[in-house]
Each structure stands twice: as C-alpha cells, then as structure tokens.
C-alpha cells in the first residue's frame, strides 16, 4: 500500500508555508461564530466557593489539569520550527497538552524532522500528540509516535480539504481499515480528529464501531482548509464549499447521543474561555485551540500567550462559580438554550433541545428522591 503522496519535498514544504500564512490571515477574518447561539440559563443562587472548583479532566487514558489544550497546526517548514518551539514553551509553562501538524512530511523528508522534534526538546515532560492522516497505516503511525515520543496520536480526517487541495488524495477507501488497524495496534491512545468540517452522529457511530475511544469533532468556525487550499489553486474554483460541514456546536449536538460510549473533544472556532465552557457543557472532555494560539505566539510572543492561557484558566473557574459547578462533569447538568440556526439544526436532526434547557430540574428532582 502506498503510504506517501508522490510529491517533491520542496513543494510539500511550500504547501506547509502556505498553510501557516493563510491560517494566520484567517484569524483576522473570523467574525460570526455559532457559539453565540448557545445561552446559559442564569440561576440566582450558588452553593460553592471558588476554591472548591476543580478544572481537571481526563481523556486519552490520561489526567489533564485543565480542560483545554493546544491543538495541532504546523510543522514541515523552517518557519514552523520556530512557531512549534514557541507553542511548546507555552505548553510547558502552563501545563497544557499540545498537538502538532501532520507528521507525514517528516516521514517522507528527514530534513524537516526537527520542525517537529523541537516540541519534545522544548517540553520533555509534556503531553504531546503526534498527528497523521487516515491514509497512513500502523507502521507509519508508530513512526510518528516514536519521532515525537508522543503520548497519543491524532488521526485527522480531512476529506473536503483533500478534494480541494490541488495535490490531494482522490481515493479514501483505506481510511476505515487503517483507523481500525491503528486503534488496535498502536502503543499509545488514538484520537480521531476532524480538521474543521465537523462530525455527524453517523460518523461518530462508525468510529465507535471501529474501536475508537476518543474523538475530536473539530467543527467549522475556525481555520478553514477549504479556503486555504482553494487560495492555492490556479484553476477550478471551490469557494462555494467554504461553508461545508457542521459547526462545532452542531457537531457537539450530533455527539450528544454517544457521550456514554466515547470521549468527545471540541475544537474549531473557539475564541475565548466562554466558548470552552459552552463546549464542556455540551459534553466535551476538553477543548482544542490552534489558530488563536498560533496567531498569539506569532504576533504577540511567548510571554503574552502564557499570560492569555493563565487568564483563561482563571476565567473558566469564575464562570463555573457563576454556574454553580464544582467540576467539568457538573457543567453537563447546566441549562442551555439554543437559538437561531443552531436550534433549527437540533430540530431537523431530532436532537432533544428541550431537555438541554431543563437539565438542572432533572438534577434537582434526583437529589430530592
């Protein structure tokens, strides 16, 4: 089976450089966000102290002290080495887990390995996630893990990106088989991750059937790889696909039926601490942020990004106090009202939005029994 796309290494490096440039440009264009269509019901009494609130969570067989992490974005180009170093220092100093962009470039071109390995060098004790596309098999998955001494592997699903990418794959028949093989054979936990097009109930159910235990639903709303790849094209305009896929809130609603079967992570368009809290309240174990942190280390630097992360930790804790929640698990009993197109989505997909809006009543009834 062919494991690598046939590409000139210099062209692959240029593609990685294009991804960084275009992803950074997009951070200035993101204005409308579906997280604004989620509202918490405010209740006027609380029965906890700030010091009681625990921000810890668990996923991929590991304890994590905070419910957000630096998601995979870059690697494979000289410029990305510096960005990965800065992000790794931020992760080291704040205790966040960190992902990396697809390691496939390093497997086919050894000259770019250090753009990835710099992460483990800068953060020797941190929780690091390697990353590969689903067209790779178990052998390459293990190589990616070994390269980074990674604690887990993200397998990314990016069908729309591949379709729009001029040099992208055009045959996806091996993906499910590869996922099952890697999940069952790899030495570390596996996370299946979308790249910004969201997931459906049906996709999640199929992944569970393949043995997957952790899924990042990564919805539309953040870095848009259709726009990125379309900007790299000379012919055949795919700009009409710019709104393809489910948003992150829509994808979290899609996942709501499966929270007892699989760990859900949320990423895509998360702007600030309130979006993280909303993701957790909709069932996510943690939230991944890529473009926001990449933009911060690129334009503000390491220390301001560390400050931003620590501010988010404090803000999440205060929001949990406002919601009378001692733990991440407690957030899943808060009352959430959906509005506008998000409500329309829930109705169309037969997702019980009324139960979401009245969860605290159920908790109160159970405590009175």
Residue 23 scores a pLDDT above 80 = no
Q: What is the pLDDT of residues 161-194, one digit of tens each?
A: 999 998 888 999 999 999 999 999 999 999 999 9
Annotated ligand binding at 73? The verdict is yes
The pLDDT, as a whole number, for residue 251 is 98
Annotated ligand binding at 220? The verdict is no
Q: What is the pLDDT of residues 243-271, one digit of tens each?
A: 999 999 999 999 999 999 999 999 999 99
Q: Which residue has the tokens 């859900």?
A: 264
The two most distant CA atoms of the chain are separated, in Å, by 67
Q: Judge contact between 269 and 34, C-beta under 8 A.
A: yes
Query: In which band, very low, low, confident or very high, does the pLDDT at 28 lie, cut at 50, 70 and 90?
Result: low
Annotated ligand binding at 334? The verdict is no
Q: Judge contact between 191 and 154, C-beta under 8 A.
A: yes
Annotated ligand binding at 102? The verdict is yes
Strand partners, 59: 62
Query: In which band, very low, low, confident or very high, does the pLDDT at 209 lie, cut at 50, 70 and 90?
Result: very high
Query: What is the pTM for the complete model shown?
Result: 0.90
Annotated ligand binding at 131? The verdict is yes
Q: Compute the average pLDDT of residues 93-117.
A: 95
Query: In which band, very low, low, confident or very high, does the pLDDT at 17 lie, cut at 50, 70 and 90?
Result: low
List domains and CATH numbers for the chain. Answer: 16-368 (3.20.20.70)
Q: Compute the average pLDDT of residues 322-347.
A: 98
Annotated ligand binding at 247? The verdict is no
Q: Which of 72, 80, 87 is nearest to 14 (CA)?
A: 80
The pLDDT, as a whole number, for residue 22 is 52
Of residues 32 and 35, more confidence is placed in 35
Q: What is the pLDDT of residues 295-328, one digit of tens each?
A: 999 999 999 999 999 999 999 999 999 999 999 9
């Amino acid at each position: 089976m062919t494991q690598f796309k046939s590409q000139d290494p210099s062209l692959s490096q240029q593609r990685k450089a294009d991804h960084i440039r275009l992803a950074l440009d997009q951070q200035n264009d993101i204005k409308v966000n579906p997280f604004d269509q989620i509202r918490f019901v405010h209740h006027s009494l609380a029965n906890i102290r700030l010091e009681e609130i625990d921000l810890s969570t668990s996923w991929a067989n590991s304890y994590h002290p905070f419910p957000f992490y630096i998601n995979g974005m870059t690697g494979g180009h000289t410029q990305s080495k510096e960005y990965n170093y800065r992000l790794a220092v931020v992760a080291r100093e704040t205790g966040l887990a960190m992902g990396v962009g697809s390691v496939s470039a390093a497997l086919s071109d050894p000259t770019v390995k250090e753009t990835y390995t710099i992460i483990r060098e800068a953060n020797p004790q941190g929780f690091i996630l390697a990353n590969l596309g689903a067209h790779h098999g178990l052998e390459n998955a293990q190589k990616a893990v070994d390269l980074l001494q990674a604690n887990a592997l993200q397998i990314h699903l990016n069908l729309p990106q591949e379709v729009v990418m001029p040099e992208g794959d055009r045959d996806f028949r091996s993906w499910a088989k590869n996922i099952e093989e890697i999940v069952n054979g790899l030495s570390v936990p596996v996370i299946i991750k979308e790249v910004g097009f969201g997931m459906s109930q049906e996709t999640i159910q199929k992944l569970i059937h393949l043995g997957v235990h952790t899924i990042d639903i990564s919805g539309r709303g953040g870095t848009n790889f259709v726009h990125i790849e379309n900007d790299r094209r000379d012919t055949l305009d795919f700009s009409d696909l710019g709104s393809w896929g489910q948003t992150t809130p829509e994808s979290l609603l899609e996942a709501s039926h499966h929270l007892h079967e699989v760990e859900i992570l949320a990423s895509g368009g998360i702007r600030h601490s309130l979006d993280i809290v909303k993701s957790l309240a909709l069932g996510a174990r943690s939230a991944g942020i890529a473009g926001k942190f990449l933009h911060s280390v690129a334009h503000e630097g390491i220390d301001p990004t560390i400050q931003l992360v620590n501010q988010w930790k404090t803000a999440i804790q205060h929001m949990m106090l406002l919601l009378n929640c001692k733990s991440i698990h407690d957030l899943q009993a808060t009352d959430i009202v959906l509005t506008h197109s998000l409500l329309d989505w829930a109705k169309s997909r037969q997702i019980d939005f009324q139960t979401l809006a009245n969860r605290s009543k159920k908790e109160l009834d159970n405590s009175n029994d």
